[in-house]
Amino acid sequence: MQKLDLMVRNRDDVIFEGKVDSITSYNAKGRFDVLPSHANFISLLEKYLIYKTSDGKENNIPINNGILKVSRNEVKVYLGVGEW
């Protein structure tokens, strides 16, 4: 099964880096999912980021704001954008 390469970081550190099966988050339009082979996509994030690892474990990161970028099965998430 194809995986997504996910990197989640804030201003100070990398919070998570690895392969995941799926990502769920929330933006101004509502809840959405990112699965392998997802179209290129950029979104502002609100509320939470959930990623599911290959062992079936779901990890929930509560967030105030962030940016998500999907390109060629690579997902990069930057948290705390705009918080100075």
* Domain boundaries defined on the chain: 4-79
Per-residue confidence (pLDDT) for residue 4, from 0 to 100: 97
Q: Please report how many Cα atoms fall inside a 13 Å half-sphere around the Cα of residue 48, on the Cβ side.
A: 13
Q: Is the pLDDT of residue 77 over 70?
A: yes
Per-residue confidence (pLDDT) for residue 81, from 0 to 100: 75
Domain 4-79: CATH architecture, name and number where available: Sandwich (2.60)
Amino acid identity, residue 31?
R
Tens of pLDDT, residue by residue over 22-51, are 999 999 999 999 999 999 999 999 999 999
Q: How far is CA 30 from CA 25, 27, 43, 44, 64, in A?
A: 8, 5, 11, 11, 15
Task: Describe the chain by its helix, strand, coil percentages, rounded to 5.
Answer: 0, 65, 35
pLDDT band at 84 (very low <50, low <70, confident <90, very high): low
The percent of residues in the chain predicted with pLDDT above 70, rounded, is 96
